[in-house]
Amino acid sequence: MTPFVRKASLIVGALALLAGGAQAQEGTAEGLVAGMERADMTYRELMEVMGGASGLMHEGILRQNPQMVKSGANIILTHPAPSHDPWAIMAEEDQAGFKSSLVAFDKLLDAYSESTADAAAERDWPAASQALQELNTACVSCHAMWKDKVK
């Protein structure tokens, strides 16, 4: 097992434990989406924006530009919801699990984005790079879980 697969497996396992707690703390996926501005875009387009934000953070770390990292993190931290309910992209039997993942991964993405921006603000580039790797691992883990189940 490669280190990446091992780390992704640990994240998925942790999410299984976090999902119930995250829902109890933060509410449901419906509540999460209701608290966001709706944008005129699909869920796929939203994921493209989030990927671009991660890329902006990466470039900011490479260029040692804290503002660039902060700008990318802000996109993730304040992202809108798509114009439709995100779970509508899944078959009915997968929607409950996907909703739990939305709540859990939203918290992870926020935490890792904040950690990356905070480290960059301190000009601790190795720590910023590590936090961004955690963010990217969370993204890839979610995609690995759900990408092939989109209807």
Per-residue pLDDT tens over the stretch 4-20: 545 555 555 554 444 44
In whole angstroms, give the CA distance from residue 89 to residue 72: 26
Q: What is the pLDDT of residue 27?
A: 82
Q: Provide the number of structural domains found in the chain.
A: 1
Q: Are 112 and 119 in contact (CB under 8 A)?
A: no
Q: Are 91 and 149 in contact (CB under 8 A)?
A: yes
CATH code (residue 35): 1.20.120
Query: 55: domain range?
Result: 3-149
Q: What is the pLDDT of residue 25?
A: 40
Low-confidence ranges of the chain (pLDDT < 50): 5, 15-25
